[in-house]
Amino acid sequence: MKKQLITSYTTTSPEKTMELGIKIGKNFDKAIVAFSGDLGAGKTLLSRSICLGAGIDEDMISSPTFTLINQYTGGRVLVHHMDTYRLDSESFMDLGLEEILMGEGLKLIEWAERIEDFLPLETLFIEIKHIGEFERQLDFYSYLNHWAKPVQQLFAN
Ligand SMILES: Nc1ncnc2c1ncn2[C@@H]1O[C@H](COP(=O)(O)OP(=O)(O)OP(=O)(O)O)[C@@H](O)[C@H]1O
Ligand SMILES: [Mg+2]
């Protein structure tokens, strides 16, 4: 099965990217969102703003670069924040990430390309491309077309 492009959005500042992330955090519930993109693309910035939108206390949010996975409570929904940069498929299994992906809450995965084969069909993919100093192109992809409507709604007004 091949991922289909839902939409592309070019953001022109970190603030614009945050605005979008906050909207995602306010509106998406039991979703798996997978981010890919080069160093400094904005994966962490977007993940953090989704956490903020979900009502997670800013001080709670830290980078999962070394912990691999963080869980944030106290928001509108439970948020799992993963960074799979240091993961191979074996450790993915060992850490029980499969169970987390099937469970409750929002699941945000940075460097998702590392574990792409394990991601369920209902995953929403956001690929971030570095266009200029402050410009990033966000390409939204999914396997299933149930994502088309909620994604388009993010840009409706
Ligand atoms: N339009 C934009 N959207 C998002 N970030 C932007 C934008 N313009 C500039 N930036 C800057 O790009 C950087 C993105 O950093 P971030 O840590 O989120 O990247 P990353 O993809 O997580 O990188 P890494 O793989 O190294 O962890 C920030 O310093 C941010 O201020
Ligand atoms: Mg990062």
Q: What angle do CA 65, 74, 36 make, to 5 degrees?
A: 30
In this structure, are residues 130 and 40 in contact, taking their beta carbons and an 8 Å threshold?
yes
> Is residue 155 domain-resident?
no
- Which residues have their alpha-adjacent CB atom under 5 A from ion ligand 2? 43-44
Owning domain of residue 29? 5-140
> Is residue 145 domain-resident?
no
Q: Does 87 score more than 80 pLDDT?
A: no
> Is residue 123 domain-resident?
yes
From CA 89, how far away is CA 57, in angstroms rounded?
31
Q: Does 6 score more than 70 pLDDT?
A: yes
Q: What is the largest CA-CA distance in the chain?
A: 43
| The predicted structure's pLDDT at residue 61 | 87
The CATH number of whichever domain residue 38 belongs to comes to 3.40.50.300
- The C-alpha R_g of the chain, in whole angstroms, comes to 14
pTM of the model: 0.94
Beta-strand (E) ranges in 75-133?
79-83, 106-110, 124-130
Taking the centre of ligand 2 as the mean of its atom positions, its distance from the CA of residue 43, in whole angstroms, is 5
Domain count, the chain: 1
| The predicted structure's pLDDT at residue 27 | 95
> Is residue 125 domain-resident?
yes
pLDDT digits (tens, 9 = 90+) for 89-123: 777 777 788 889 999 999 999 988 878 888 999 99
Q: Which ligand is nearest to the CA of 35?
A: 1
pLDDT digits (tens, 9 = 90+) for 122-152: 999 999 999 999 999 999 999 999 999 999 9
> Is residue 136 domain-resident?
yes
User: What does the mean pLDDT of the chain come to?
Assistant: 91
> Is residue 148 domain-resident?
no
> Is residue 153 domain-resident?
no
The DSSP H or E segment spanning 49 is: helix 43-53
The DSSP H or E segment spanning 34 is: strand 32-37
> Is residue 61 domain-resident?
yes
Q: Is the CB of 130 under 6 A from ligand 1?
A: no
Between the ranges 2-11, 60-69, 79-88, 96-105, where is the mean pLDDT highest? 2-11
